[in-house]
Structure 1
């Protein structure tokens, strides 16, 4: 069976639509990803609002090593 790239694109588009709009996900408590998206969309700030509230002096620099970062955070709590 010969499958053209157009056929494959169409099949992938159908799967993506099904996966995001129709298929319930246990991670979203039975909602589809799009239902979850619309649930939280009104609570999610736009980047301009985030940037207007951003103050670099109040931000903690995190180490890329998660275990090391946790240890540093624990040590700082002891100070």
Structure 2
């Protein structure tokens, strides 16, 4: 991801899938100074961009390919390029993601700026169980 995106990551927002709560995943984010912000349970509207992207993939990409084909990686690369560089997006008022990133480039902080704002003392390994994690947060505030 770091090589693909032309901007610094400040935080990553995910659903509450187990893969995101692995210690190694969260530790790696901390090493890079990236805040981990999982959404609350039963809140898919908070992950709307991802949900919409997946719907577009289901409607426009998957019907055109054979998942068992040898050239699946090439087809995925072509789709990724088309989706980000050529395909207009309604949520971006008809612009492509690459056009929007270019528009925002002057407002986007560099890695050094993001890194300077990152406070490791405010970050911790989070639990997948939202309610258990809330209790841990409350306990840590009392200490």
- Per the normalisation by structure 2, the TM-score is 0.33
In structure 2, the residue corresponding to 1:42 is in which secondary structure?
helix
* Partner of residue 36, structure 1: 100
Would you say how many aligned residue pairs link Structure 1 and Structure 2?
A: 56
Which of the numbers 21, 24, 29 marks the counterpart of 2:88?
Answer: 24
Structure 1 residue runs of 4+, over 4 Å off?
none
Larger radius of gyration: 1
2:115 aligned with 1:47: no
* Partner of residue 3, structure 1: 69
**More strand by percentage:** 2
User: How far is the alpha carbon of 1:51 from its aligned partner?
Assistant: 4.5
Q: Aligned Cα RMSD in Å?
A: 2.9
**More helix by percentage:** 1
Shift in alpha-carbon separation, 1:8–1:43, aligned structure 2, 3 A: same
